[in-house]
Chains A and B, each alone.
Chain A
């Protein structure tokens, strides 16, 4: 029985430490200390763009297709195929695509940071930075957070465009119960700029949490290459749970009592 609760207990025990770590890194970014290393931040931003954009878009696109397919069949079954756009719009913008973004961010960027920083930790590179008189937390973690904040809004919005396209392909081109114009009319009717902003906020909170969790596990890795592997795996667990919780809280706060739709109340 004890073993069953090992994970929740571990998280509770580490909450304070992770919180403090996150506070320090965020403080470095807000307080401008990270600007000493602005060049490094830009380099990290470049790495993020080159190495992660395509996979993140790929998962967003695939889940966009699925939203479209399910929506088309579901509303056909309800006898209102013309309204597939509502399902697609909400599924894409409000719920599933932010999750898709969170999943892939955690998988590609989060674990990538753990692997990289963990390797630096065990080969003494982080100690070497400290010894050279460089605040390693700012240099390694705050620059990555700043890079994420610079790049990800654009990456997310472009990916959302891709997901819209995917839903369109699935509903109109593939299943074909509704005409292109009919679909798009409803699709655009049922979303508005506040929805878009809320969705972006949700995704950015997820991304921030993921980068910070990745930095925490990587920065504090130990125990040789094996320890780095274990830390990478552990970061993924925490990130998945955080993504789901943030998604839920976002929905509750932004849309909990307000459908924000062009009909009804």
Chain B
């Protein structure tokens, strides 16, 4: 009985640790495969990059505008109205749109849209035995499939971060206008408080999110099991793991950035 309970508790935990370990190994293999010649993945890189671009631009647009308009826009405007300091809204958007919401929403949308598509695609290849066929033909799936997705997703997530920040600010402006305020003070406080550290921190964070998404989604796709439910289940697990990983990494990164760059905290 005790043994039974222990097994039921320990087994999932051990499986989880094994998976995390496998993902680490895949990361290592991906990086080394990316650096060592030859470099056959150029074409696939471009097509994956365009694929992610095509798939994500619209959901990301809707998401960032909606989120920034509502959360930091309306709510913070509510708060600032209480003090009659609505011109300060721009300052809040440094924290909201640039430091947090921009990268986080980009990561969530990229994981939910491009990541799931990658898992579905690789999962389909896995169960059609295309991956086995590649290996039999002497082609390394990591180098030819994972590396281009890894690089493409890192690049595209980093770039989309800028896009998300721009449309996030647009959402903020929208809120400012809905409150019936001139937009000049919004820009003033925004640029007074924004710093390049904030921007590179945001882009760096987002690029690493891209790497996390790529590894998790490729891993889940390549290990999809057969059967009717296999690929769907793989996609399901991929987004769950990716979201948790994004959240956990975000927490650590924010902590580190804020603690090591105290000048970010001075309000101007």
- Residues on A facing B (Cβ under 8 Å): 3-8, 55, 58-59, 62-63, 65-66, 69-70, 73-74, 76-79, 86, 90-91, 94-96, 99, 103-104, 106-108, 111-112, 114-116, 118-120, 122-123, 224-226, 228-233, 236-237, 239-241, 244-245, 247-248, 250-252, 255-256, 258-259, 261, 263-265
Contacts and interface: CB of A to CB of B under 8 A. Distances in A.
Contacts of B59: 7, 237, 240-241
A112 B235 CA distance: 9
B54 A115 contact: no
Nearest to B53: A4
A177 B99 CA distance: 21
A70 B254 contact: yes
A111 B236 contact: yes
Interface residues of B, number: 63
Interface string B48-83: 000000110111001100110111001100110111
Contacts, number: 204
Given A66-B254, A248-B66, A252-B74, 11 more contacts: A4-B54, A69-B258, A95-B75, A106-B112, A108-B240, A225-B232, A232-B231, A232-B235, A233-B235, A236-B116, A247-B67
Nearest to A11: B58
A231 B116 CA distance: 10
Given A232-B232, A240-B113, A69 B79 contact: no
A226 to B, nearest CB: 4
A160 B125 CA distance: 40
B6 interface: no
**Secondary structure call for the B interface:** helix
Contacts of B232: 111, 114-116, 118-119, 225, 228-229, 231-232
A6 B95 CA distance: 34
Nearest to A224: B228
B201 interface: no
B5 interface: no
Contacts of A58: 244, 247
Contacts of A233: 113, 116-117, 119-120, 235
**Secondary structure call for the A interface:** helix
B128 A226 contact: yes
B67 A248 contact: yes
A95 to B, nearest CB: 4
Q: Which 8 A-B pairs have the closest CB atoms?
A: A115-B232, A229-B231, A233-B116, A264-B82, A259-B78, A229-B120, A119-B229, A251-B70
A118 B248 CA distance: 31
Interface in B83-140: 83, 92, 95, 99-100, 105, 108-109, 112-113, 116-117, 119-120, 123-124, 127-128
Contacts of B69: 248
Given A59-B243, A99-B67, A236-B235, A244 B62 contact: yes
12 contacts: A4-B57, A7-B59, A59-B243, A103-B108, A103-B243, A111-B116, A225-B230, A229-B123, A239-B112, A258-B78, A261-B78, A264-B83
Contacts of A263: 82
Contacts of A106: 112, 239
